[in-house]
Structure 1
Amino acid sequence: MGLPSFDSFSSSARHKVWRGDELGLADGQVVGTGHAALNAQLPGGGWPVGAMTELLQSAPEAHAWQLLLPALAQAVQGGNGPVALIGAPQEPFGPALAARGLPVEALLWVRCEASAARLWACEQALRCADMAAVLAWLPQARVGELRRLQLAAAQHDSLLFVFRPETAAHSTSPARLRLRLASCEDDSAQIDVHILKRRGPPLASPIRLPARSERMTALLAASQLRRKLRWQQEGGLQPMAEGATVVRLGLHQEKGHALDRIALAA
């Protein structure tokens, strides 16, 4: 039996060869993030299936839904099962998520405080055959425990997102993809996404994504305009300087608009 030619070997192995100065290919299936700028910087153009994606941020609930909603809605609508939330810091606001394509009926919220209980629940969710994705808040997880979750995700081809504090950036992690999320300092309507680990070269500058959906941005702008007009009609004064408005005393006691709660979830 003759040896395979070099050309045939190169053709079959080319997809496994990765140069450190190039963006690598995905090892398996990916799900598009719903953000074109982010897709362009990820191997395969999306979130890796069967692998852990680690998201680091200062506040555990910040930016999670805006970043992940497009992919989660796509996975659920594709009939891949529900989304498990392990140790989520706040109860999701159903109407806002449903408006973005993720019905509340597709969410399984597992409430547990102890780190061991969260790890156990996460591993059990990953073993379920019909599970679109698992989102787990694991601020105290150790490397060995994360490695077990990574193996479980790989065995069952699951989307796994693990949320940890920013301080974890200095420790090692088995995650295939590692991102740090932060509010943009000069624009609160934007998110800075720093790619800490990927199959590719380091990213010199963060990717800037909207902190809320276009529809929500338009609704908030319209709501702000209505309040401004109402203040003026009820005795408010024109702005004295940019960013400062003087209004009649007592108007600040107005109850919060229902949209405020939706904005928090979006």
Structure 2
Amino acid sequence: MCFTATRKTIVVLTKAELDHVSQDEAKVVEPVVEDNESKLTKENLKIVFSNQKLWGIYIGQFCLGGTLIFFLTWFPTYLVEYRGLSFIKSGFLASIPFIAAFCGVLISGFFSDFLVRKGVSKEVSRKAPMIIGMLLSMFIIGANYTDNTTLIITFLSIAFFGNGLSSIAWIFVSLLAPKQLIGLVGGCMNAVGSLAGVIVPVVIGFLVTDGDFRPALFFIASLACIGFCSYLFLVGKIERVTLPSDKSKAV
């Protein structure tokens, strides 16, 4: 005889009953359900690469990455070779925009969540930091119109702060992607964004061939403008992309 205890009750089973239950449990086989909608198929790839809203966040991620890549690659060269700063001074001044970007990343999340707690719609609470950040990134162009080192660093810091503010872009994957394809959409977004690391340094190198960085800063500002328009017009209203099967079930 076997005594099986639970938190509130005690059930007494004979050995025969216990063996019978064990045999029944061994016969139970969990059904295997295949979710074809979550597999990597041509249909799913077509969905993630043909939807306007998803392309909005892909393009936005590319533009966001473009500004970041400039600061990671060409920014020190800009300060030393174009602005004539010493390596020591440029090393100190170059840290200021990165500190601004760090603050932008933190403020982006806090500000967005604050708006959510206040009952603001996701249209505003999630898109506002992204839109404002892209607008601020365009301030990089201001460095073309001054030779004052303080103003130059100020414009660049505002631009990189805006880039940090726009780092909330990842949240749009969970808001827009079909639930079965969130991972795939996230991977596509990162892949397109990573192309900025390949394309942007090459384009900037081509633009500064004559030693003039002004076209390069115009290029970075134009990327920020494209990202702004992408989220404003391509992404549009925040609503989840639905699969054809979801639409048929709804009908």
| TM-score of the two chains, using structure 1 as the length reference | 0.20
- Larger RCO (CA within 8 A; separation ≥ 6): 2
TM, length-normalised to structure 2: 0.21
Higher fraction of helix: 2
